[in-house]
């Protein structure tokens, strides 16, 4: 479920190093951070901190929960990841090199479906103008049932009717 990528000049890794170096107090680029950046950008998932920890461990990396949490915060701050706060936990997705989009979330299988809609930006501008509101971000998530989960249900209902 990809949208077309946005061309960028730097690799995510280089962009992160640049971010770390440009701090008023320069931060360090460690092995675990490097592993995380590479792992995250080798996939295209929506994930939370614990999923990432487990997945990376299964893939043979040595990562600690605390460092995953700390590094995810930095990656958001660096503009590499975007954080979706919908419900009790935080989900992350690519931001660097990836276009603006919205989400549909299937409440059966949990899948996140991305979509783009050109009218939304106009709505944002208009609403903010009329309310003199200075927007910094927005969250648009449609909850429901995805096509596959919907199909999987219909046969079940039919059987129930017999």
Partner DNA sequence: ATTCTTGCAAAGCCTTTGCAACTGC
Partner DNA sequence: GCAGTTGCAAAGGCTTTGCAAGAAT
- The interaxial angle of helices 12-21 and 31-41, nearest 10 deg, is 140
Q: Is 116 in the site for DNA (CB under 7 A)?
A: no
Query: Is the CB of 30 or the CB of 150 nearer to its own copies?
Result: 150
* Count of beta carbons in the 10 Å neighbourhood of residue 8: 12
Identify which range of 85-93, 99-107, 110-118, 150-158 contacts DNA by CB under 7 A: 85-93
Q: Does 50 engage in binding with DNA (CB under 7 A)?
A: yes
Under the binding rule (CB under 8 A), the answer on residue 125 touching its own copies is no
Helix or strand run (H / E) with residue 121:
helix 119-130
Backbone angles phi, psi at 113, to 5 degrees: -110, 130
Please tell me whether residue 131 binds its own copies under the rule CB under 8 A: yes
Task: Annotate each residue in 30-69 with x if it binds its own copies (CB under 8 A) or - if it does not, as one string.
Answer: ----------------------------------------
The strand pairing partners of 103, in sequence order, are 114, 141
Q: How far is the CB of 13 from DNA (least distance, A)?
A: 12
Residue 152 tokens, joined: 């999987």
Backbone torsion region of residue 105, taken as left when φ is above 0, otherwise alpha when ψ lies between -120 and 50, otherwise beta: beta
Residue 24 or residue 130: which is nearer to its own copies going by CB? 130
> What is the contact surface with its own copies in residues (CB under 8 A)?
85-88, 104, 106-107, 113, 115, 117, 119-120, 123-124, 126-128, 130-147, 150
């Amino acid at each position: 479920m990809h949208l077309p990528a946005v061309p960028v000049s730097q690799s995510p890794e280089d962009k992160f190093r640049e971010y770390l170096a440009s701090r008023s107090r320069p931060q360090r680029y460690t092995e675990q951070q490097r592993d995380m950046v590479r792992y995250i950008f080798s996939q295209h998932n929506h994930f939370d901190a614990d999923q990432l920890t487990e997945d990376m461990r299964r893939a043979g990396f040595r990562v600690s929960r605390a460092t995953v949490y700390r590094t995810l915060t930095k990656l958001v701050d660096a503009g590499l990841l975007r954080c979706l706060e919908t419900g009790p936990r935080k989900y992350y997705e690519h931001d660097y090199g990836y276009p603006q989009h919205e989400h549909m979330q299937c409440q059966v299988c949990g899948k996140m479906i991305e979509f783009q809609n050109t009218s939304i930006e106009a709505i944002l501008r208009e609403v903010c103008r009329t309310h003199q509101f200075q927007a910094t971000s927005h969250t648009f998530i449609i909850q429901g049932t995805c096509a596959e989960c919907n199909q999987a249900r219909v046969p079940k209902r039919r059987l129930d009717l017999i």
